[in-house]
Each structure stands twice: as structure tokens, then as C-alpha cells.
Amino acid sequence: MVDVTVVVVSYNSRNWLERCLDPVIHQSGDVVGLEVIVVDNASTDGSASFVRERFPRVKVIDSNVNLGFGAGCNRAFAVARGRTIILVNPDCELQAGAIGALHQFLRDHPRIGAAGGRLAYGDGSFQHAAFRFPSLAQVFLDFFPLNWRLTESRLNGRYPRAIDATAFECDAVLGALMAIRRTAVLETGGFDERYFMYVEEIDWCKRLHAFGWEVWHCPDAMGIHHSGQSTRTVAARMFVELHRSRLHYYRRYWPPATVAVAQVITWIGCAQEIVRLRRHAPDDASRERIRGCREVMHLVA
């Protein structure tokens, strides 16, 4: 019997996989039966062979193309045997007891379809792990943050930091550390593979709510999330994918007039970013960012 399947979707993450998988394996005694699956998205850094050699108990699913996060998860869902499936980013280090806490949380609350753990950045600082569904205000504040009180507020989809140490129901949780009830996956379907990266877990949480499932923040499961390590080398490309995914979400759930306003805000925000980057002699990273902004402007035009 397998209680829990841990799924890690990896792309060129060899330098982080040991730090990710070691704590997972060490927590195998916290549940009855632990299965670990790594989906390798056509990495070129030897990630798949490293996992096979260093962690022979881990099942590796090789893909000859980069499927993206959602499609990679779906590959794992198709073979996962655990009643609880826990998604862990390769740049996320689980703290002691996280797997057992998430699994027990779902067992204790049968209407919860997904639960997210608490997250901190690599330097120990707080990271938001639960969010309200995106709104037009969030689109605006993403490009024009104005002040920290607004960016940290309900208007920007944030829950108060003060309740992070408590269990609370929320709209959506981050896929960096996310427990999923297998029966909820079977009922609602897996991730929408039209999202290559980003927003796919928000979309899935939206569908969970539509089917009557609940989504909660679980404070007893903690992860250190070295955010963005897998995508840092392709940051400009991921900026485009982020906005491509956001646009798909807007078009799926928002009225056309609201989508149009979001596109205008995004276009203006990217144009402003280009102006800012051009004020000083741009380096290679700035030039890549400018190209990314131009592509997003074309995407939303």
C-alpha cells in the first residue's frame, strides 16, 4: 500500500535535486508507503542519470521534450499510487515532518482536495504560499506596486501574514509545496496543459472549488523554497510564459471587457519597463528582458 506519492518535476535542476530529495527520502518513515517520482523534462545537465545513481528508489520518468510543469505533473499522476500526491519543486527543501503533516491533514479533512504548506525563502524570510484568485487590481499592482501596504493587502490577493501559522481555507496554494487528494484529481482531471509554466495550480484550484472541494493552507508542513532556481537561466523566456499563462487564465474565467483592460495594463506596464531599462547602458540581462517585454506587448496587443 502506498499512502503518499511525492512528485518532483525537474528541468536542469541537478544542483538542487539532492537537497530536494534527501529530506523526502528521510521522511519515508512518517507514512505507510512512500513513492517518489521525478519527471525529467529533457534536461541537458545529467539530472535523470544523477537521480537514478544517487536515489535508486526514486522512479524517473524521462521526457524527450520539455513538457512544462503541468504536463509533467500529469505524467506522474497517471502512474502515481499514493492516496495523497505531494508536489515539491526541485528547489524546495522539505522540513522535518512535512510529508506526514500534509497527508494527515487531508485524512482529517475529507472535503479538502488540495493543501499547501508554509514556505520561506532561502534566507529564511517569509514567502506567501496561499493566494486569492487573480483580479484586475492584482494585474495593476504587479506593474505599478505603488506601496508595500497595497502589495501586501487583500487587494493584491494576499492573506495576512499573521495567520500563516494557522490553518485557513483559501482560494489557491502554490505548487512549490502542494498536497493533492488523488480522488480529487480523478474527479476534476489533472492540470490544464495549455499552461506551460505558471498559473496551472491556480486554474486547478479554481476547478476544485467548482466541484465542491476545499483548498486549505496547512501550517504544520514547512518548506524552504529557493524560488526561481530552475528558471533563472531563462528568466526572460519565463517572463513571457508567465504572461502567456495569465492571459489564458483571464480569457478562461473573466468577462471579455475585463480581459481587455488587463491587456492594456500589461502593455503599458511592459512599455514602462522598457523605458526604465533603456535609461542606462543595458547589459545582456537587460536586453533579454527588453526582448521579453516586447514579446509580451505583442502577445496582449
- Which domain CATH number covers 157? 3.90.550.10
Q: Please check whether residues 20 and 158 belong to one and the same domain.
A: yes
Model confidence at 82: pLDDT above 70:
yes
User: In this predicted structure, what is the pLDDT of residue 1?
Assistant: 81
The residue from 175, 199, 225 where one domain ends is: 225
Q: Please check whether residues 8 and 92 belong to one and the same domain.
A: yes
Q: Which three cell numbers stand for residue 214?
A: 476545499
Q: Please check whether residues 202 and 288 belong to one and the same domain.
A: no
Q: Where would I find the beta strands (DSSP E) of the chain?
A: 4-10, 34-41, 59-63, 84-88, 92-94, 112-120, 126-127, 130-131, 168-169, 172-173, 177-181, 214-225
Q: Please check whether residues 109 and 249 belong to one and the same domain.
A: no
Across the range 276-295, mean pLDDT stands at 88
Q: Please check whether residues 220 and 272 belong to one and the same domain.
A: no
Q: Please check whether residues 189 and 237 belong to one and the same domain.
A: no
Q: Please check whether residues 38 and 161 belong to one and the same domain.
A: yes
Average of per-residue pLDDT values in the chain: 94
Considering only CA atoms, which of 141, 157, 153, 133 is closest in space to residue 265? 141
Q: Please check whether residues 151 and 284 belong to one and the same domain.
A: no
Across the range 187-197, mean pLDDT stands at 93
Kind of pairing between the strands at 4-10 and 172-173: unpaired
Model confidence at 228: pLDDT above 70:
no
Residue type, 25: I
The residue from 225, 257, 291 where one domain ends is: 225
Per-residue pLDDT band for 124 (boundaries 50, 70, 90) equals very high
Contact 201, 116 (CB under 8 A): no
The residue from 225, 247, 281 where one domain ends is: 225
* pTM of the entire predicted model: 0.94
Q: How many angstroms from the chain centroid is the CA of residue 86?
A: 12
Model confidence at 132: pLDDT above 90:
yes
- Alpha-carbon span 120 to 225, nearest angstrom: 6
User: In this predicted structure, what is the pLDDT of residue 233?
Assistant: 55
Q: Please check whether residues 194 and 239 belong to one and the same domain.
A: no
Provide, rounded to the nearest whole percent, the portion of the chain with pLDDT above 70: 98
- Alpha-carbon span 292 to 298, nearest angstrom: 10
Q: Please check whether residues 219 and 103 belong to one and the same domain.
A: yes
Across the range 193-206, mean pLDDT stands at 95
User: In this predicted structure, what is the pLDDT of residue 236?
Assistant: 80
Burial of 124 (0-12, 13-18, 19+ CB in 10 A): exposed
- Alpha-carbon span 24 to 27, nearest angstrom: 5
Q: Please check whether residues 212 and 237 belong to one and the same domain.
A: no
Total domains present in the chain: 2
**Domain extent at residue 202:** 4-225
Q: Please check whether residues 140 and 205 belong to one and the same domain.
A: yes
Model confidence at 232: pLDDT above 70:
no
